[in-house]
């Protein structure tokens, strides 16, 4: 079954597809680890613009051909490797990422390439390889603690949480909990003047522990963490300005995995339509899973299609959504 993808304006699609390893799902509004410049629109190579048009139209073979044309003239193209992962050609992508690691001009560039390699393994659901690579990126940020302590500890927390996110999506719940807790530990080490309050890291941890409890079938613990997350938001209005939109996601996720499908539908719809949530492919994917469990197959297919179209970044949400939606849609 080859289901046409829903239309998306090309300018918007290119903007989505040229994101490398993006910010974590709970944004902390801090510069991310170095990633290669990818270019947008006319700044991007013609072959990759062509590939994006084919991806938008659901023409996978043609998209792969266009990406490979670019690699023929630019064998170490990071944006091309990212698109190979998006298209499911992860082994080809990792050949390029390894070249970028081997040829890195400095430790920062090497860490960026290792992080990209980690995300490539995430597209295969290989959480163990992701963790090993993210540990190497964390080790780089340890070397930056003296020169750039605020950012160094923040980045360590981000990398740990990124690894944890891949682990929970892969079903490795114990590893996910370990790395979510490590992420909080790293983040809380940021010295004064702090650029990220303790309330942010504690909220992120409560959010993660709630989802983990739901996945383990512990509804009582999940509800406890929902309450903790709500209290943290209410205690810090400034932090909540950016983080409030993730609360319906938590409630909906817990409801989905504990069998309260009506609440899941309501809360995940709210999360998907919130400002900032419209471009997150994980929200329509979760809602599609909800409708699938409710026996509403047509609505599920529509949302898997939407999630697939949105999942063009090189980050944990896309790494889960793209392969799952491809399978669900028979692409």
Contact 120, 94 (CB under 8 A): yes
- Nearest Cα to 83, choosing from 20, 3, 36, 37? 20
pLDDT of 58: 81
Integer distance in angstroms from the first to the last C-alpha of the chain? 7
The residues near 82 (Cβ < 8 Å, ≥ 6 apart) are 20, 38, 93, 116, 314
Q: What is the pLDDT along the chain (331 residues), one digit of tens a residue?
A: 333 333 333 333 333 333 334 344 454 433 333 333 344 556 789 999 999 899 878 889 999 999 999 999 999 999 999 999 999 999 999 999 999 999 999 999 999 999 999 999 999 999 999 999 999 999 999 999 999 999 999 999 999 999 999 999 999 999 999 999 999 999 999 999 899 999 999 999 999 999 999 999 999 999 999 999 999 999 999 999 999 999 999 999 999 999 999 999 999 999 999 988 899 999 999 999 999 999 999 999 999 999 999 998 999 999 999 999 999 999 8
pLDDT of 6: 39
pLDDT of 14: 36
Q: The tokens 């114990």 sit on which residue?
A: 174
pTM higher than the cut 0.75? yes
3-state secondary structure 20-36: CCCCCCCCCCCCCCCCC
pLDDT of 17: 37
State the burial class of residue 16 (Cβ atoms within 10 Å of its Cβ: 0-12, 13-18, 19+). buried
pLDDT of 40: 52
The number of helices, as runs of H, and strands, as runs of E, in the chain is: 17, 0
DSSP state of 319: H
The pairs formed by 134-139 with CB atoms below 8 angstroms and a separation of 24 or more are: 134/159, 134/160, 134/162, 134/163, 135/163, 136/111, 137/33, 137/111, 138/186
3-state secondary structure 42-65: HHCCHHHHHHHHHHHCCCHHHHHH
Residue 124: both structure tokens together: 């295969």
pLDDT of 5: 38
Report DSSP letters for 185-244, one per residue.
HHHHTPPSSPSS-HHHHHHHHHHHHHHHHHHTT-HHHHHHHHHHHHHHHHH-HHHHHHHG
Contact 168, 208 (CB under 8 A): yes
pLDDT of 205: 98
């Amino acid at each position: 079954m080859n289901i046409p993808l829903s239309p998306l304006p090309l300018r918007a699609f290119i903007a989505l597809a040229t994101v490398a390893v993006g910010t974590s799902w709970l944004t902390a509004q801090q510069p991310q680890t170095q990633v290669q410049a990818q270019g947008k629109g006319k700044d991007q190579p013609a072959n990759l613009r062509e590939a994006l048009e084919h991806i938008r139209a659901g023409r996978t073979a043609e998209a792969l051909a266009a990406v490979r044309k670019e690699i023929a003239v630019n064998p170490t193209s990071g944006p091309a490797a990212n698109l190979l992962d998006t298209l499911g050609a992860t082994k080809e992508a990792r050949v390029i990422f390894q070249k970028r690691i081997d040829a890195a001009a400095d430790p920062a560039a090497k860490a960026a390439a290792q992080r990209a390699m980690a995300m490539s393994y995430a597209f295969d659901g290989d959480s163990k390889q992701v963790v090993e690579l993210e540990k190497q990126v964390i080790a780089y940020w340890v070397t930056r603690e003296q020169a750039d302590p605020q950012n160094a500890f923040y980045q360590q927390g981000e990398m740990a949480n990124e690894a944890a996110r891949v682990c929970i999506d892969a079903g490795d719940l114990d590893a996910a909990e370990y790395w979510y807790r490590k992420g909080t530990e790293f983040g809380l080490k940021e010295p004064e003047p702090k650029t990220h309050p303790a309330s942010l890291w504690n909220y992120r941890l409560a959010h993660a522990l709630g989802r983990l409890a739901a996945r383990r079938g512990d509804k009582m613990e999940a509800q406890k963490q929902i309450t903790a997350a709500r209290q943290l938001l209410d205690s810090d209005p400034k932090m909540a300005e950016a983080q409030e939109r993730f609360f319906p996601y938590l409630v909906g996720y817990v409801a989905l995995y504990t069998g309260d499908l009506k609440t899941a539908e309501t809360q995940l719809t709210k999360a998907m339509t919130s400002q900032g949530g419209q471009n997150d492919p994980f929200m329509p994917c979760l809602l599609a899973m909800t409708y699938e469990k409710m026996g509403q197959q047509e609505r599920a297919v529509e949302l898997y299609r939407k999630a697939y179209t949105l999942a063009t970044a090189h980050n944990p949400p896309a790494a889960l959504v793209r392969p799952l939606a491809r399978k669900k849609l028979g692409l």
